[in-house]
Amino acid sequence: MSDGGKMWGARFEGELDPQFAEYQDSLQYDITLAFADLDTNLAWSEALVGAGVLTDDDFDKIAGVIEDLAAQWHEHGLPTDSDAEDVHSFVEQQLVAQLGDLGKRIHTGRSRNDQVATDMRLHLREWVGCLVESIEGLCLALVEKAAQHAGDPMPGYTHLQRAQPITIGHHALAYVEALSRDRERLIDAHNRFDQCPLGSGALAGTAFDIDRIELAARLEFQNGPTRNSLDATASRDHLCEVAFACSMTMTNLSRLAEDYVFFASFEAGFVRFGDAVATGSSLMPQKRNPDAMELIRGKAAKVQGALQSLLTLMKGLPLGYNRDLQIDKEILLPALDATNQSTLVAATAIENAVFDTERCAAEAGRGYLNATDLADLLVNASVPFRDAHGIAGTAVNRAIELGVELHELPANEQKTLLPQLSCDLAESLSVEAVLNRRNVIGGTAPARVRAEVERWRILIAEWAEGYHELDDFNPDEEELELEFTSDD
């Protein structure tokens, strides 16, 4: 077939160079938009009826074929013998094969430019729903881990140096806070891109009397049609925004992974991963490696790279569609999948992480993590904090010389170093006392952690009631995971 048989081939007679033909083929990447493309074809066909281009009978035939194709693809997968160069020509081939000339008429007044922009928003809407659902699952896993260890102490760190005691539950809930913001970012991004570009044509709008408001409603875009055809077909900032939300999610997952990789080390010994998420060494029989968390940490680089690639892709493009934008799908779609898979695996890893609570508690009482509390006790004894800070520091130095903890200082040393205090240091500087003092909103006191667990359980239950922030879309994982494999 000559290139005159392509969707764009009206004035062309020769064949494309074979190497260039393969180079410019995007079907292997955009085939994942096939179901979305069926949706846009159906909605556009109905809009053409309103514009007087098609009849009701034409539409009924088209709708029947589209319904049959969707059912076949769901059940059997996509045909693998197509020579189409992209998903739009692939779907058109399928429609023309069954509808003849009627299938060719569907493209009236439409461009692949507004078609792909619409397909991508529909597909992205499904992905956002899937990602939000996965983040919620990870949040729930962390909340339940926090509930299990609401009162169990562990060392808290700054600069990777022991700082103050916290609870294991407090640490888990810190990541729930971060991931909940990632969830909100995805929802915010969805609400901004939830407009319908279909009807924008190549860049100047369609010449046919299309009711774009009704068209947007048919495709369930909550913010109606896009308001400028040039912007609608040429802009991809919504892809960059979703990529940023994914990058931020992966950054938080990477930090979570880094913490747990350290916790699982022999040096820390705080946590042990179950067999479901750990692997061994081909040489060293004793090894138990936290591979799930390490892979999450590694895949963050892939997602962050996708964000930078999209920004670089966009930075030099003039307004109007440019073929460079074809690359957006092969950049973004793998990043979406990596983010989703990493979030799911993180939840499994958290569920299979077993804390050694005795060791965690013992280590929370070592390393002078109660020095701040000693200064606070001095403040309560009317010592100015700056002076109290210095006195506590001197006490730490003396304790190090003696090889004891602050709460283990001998009575004579307490009398010499801390004459302002008459309390029992062993009791007042115990890990339990240190934790319980921080009974404020956001604090690590076990009572506060338990209260936050209950608050988060209520919030997550409200989330699970049904994506009210995202209106009524429902993620279809089968469509998201659709792959195209050629016979070659």
Q: What pLDDT, in 10s, does the model give residues 218-269?
A: 999 999 999 999 999 999 999 999 999 999 999 999 999 999 999 999 999 9
Is pLDDT above 70 for 448? yes
Domain ranges within the chain, ordered by starting residue: 17-105, 112-133+166-357, 371-429
Q: How far is CA 162 from CA 4, 56, 159, 175, 215, in A?
A: 70, 73, 8, 19, 59
| Gap between the Cα atoms of 253 and 246, Å rounded | 10
Q: What pLDDT, in 10s, does the model give residues 323-339?
A: 999 999 999 999 999 99
Residue 186: which of 255, 130, 226 has the closest Cα? 130
Is pLDDT above 80 for 15? no
Neighbours of 412 (CB within 10 A): 8
Question: Contact, 289 vs 279, CB < 8 A?
Answer: yes
Predicted confidence band at 485 (pLDDT cuts at 50, 70, 90)?
Answer: very low
Question: Contact, 409 vs 399, CB < 8 A?
Answer: yes
CATH number of 371-429: 1.10.40.30
Question: Contact, 206 vs 109, CB < 8 A?
Answer: yes
Is pLDDT above 70 for 486? no
Residue 288 identity: R
Q: What pLDDT, in 10s, does the model give residues 152-173?
A: 999 999 999 999 999 999 999 9
Q: What pLDDT, in 10s, does the model give residues 109-122?
A: 999 999 999 999 99
| Gap between the Cα atoms of 126 and 333, Å rounded | 12
Which contacts of 326-332 are long-range, i.e. CB under 8 A and separated by 24 or more positions?
A: 326/24, 326/26, 326/30, 326/86, 328/120, 328/236, 328/239, 329/26, 329/29, 329/30, 329/32, 329/33, 329/120, 330/26, 330/29, 331/306, 332/239, 332/242, 332/243, 332/306
Chain-wide mean pLDDT for the chain? 92
Identical fold between 112-133+166-357 and 371-429 = no
Neighbours of 396 (CB within 10 A): 17
Provide the annotated active-site residues: 159, 281
Q: What is the pLDDT of residue 59?
A: 98
Q: What pLDDT, in 10s, does the model give residues 336-395?
A: 999 999 999 999 999 999 999 999 999 999 999 999 999 999 999 999 999 999 999 999
Q: How far is CA 12 from CA 16, 287, 324, in A?
A: 10, 63, 22
Q: What is the pLDDT of residue 470?
A: 52
For the segment 182-202, the average pLDDT, to the nearest whole number, is: 98
Predicted confidence band at 25 (pLDDT cuts at 50, 70, 90)?
Answer: confident
Distance between first and last Cα of the chain: 19
Nearest 5°: the CA angle 442, 445, 448 is 55
Is pLDDT above 80 for 472? no
Q: What is the pLDDT of residue 483?
A: 45
Q: What is the pLDDT of residue 471?
A: 47
Placement of tokens 């995202």 in the chain? 470
For the segment 415-420, the average pLDDT, to the nearest whole number, is: 96
Task: Output the pTM of the full model.
Answer: 0.91
Residue 153, classed as helix, strand or coil, is strand
Radius of gyration in angstroms for the set of CA atoms belonging to the chain, rounded to a whole number = 30
Q: Which CATH number fits domain 112-133+166-357: 3.40.50.300, 1.10.260.40, 3.20.20.20, 1.20.200.10?
A: 1.20.200.10
Nearest 5°: the CA angle 169, 172, 178 is 140
b/e 266-303 (16+ beta carbons within 10 angstroms → b): eebebbebeeebbeeeeeeeeeeebbbbebbbebbeeb
For the segment 398-417, the average pLDDT, to the nearest whole number, is: 96
| Gap between the Cα atoms of 60 and 66, Å rounded | 10
| Gap between the Cα atoms of 375 and 386, Å rounded | 9
Q: Which CATH number fits domain 17-105: 1.10.275.10, 3.20.20.70, 1.20.1050.10, 2.40.110.10?
A: 1.10.275.10
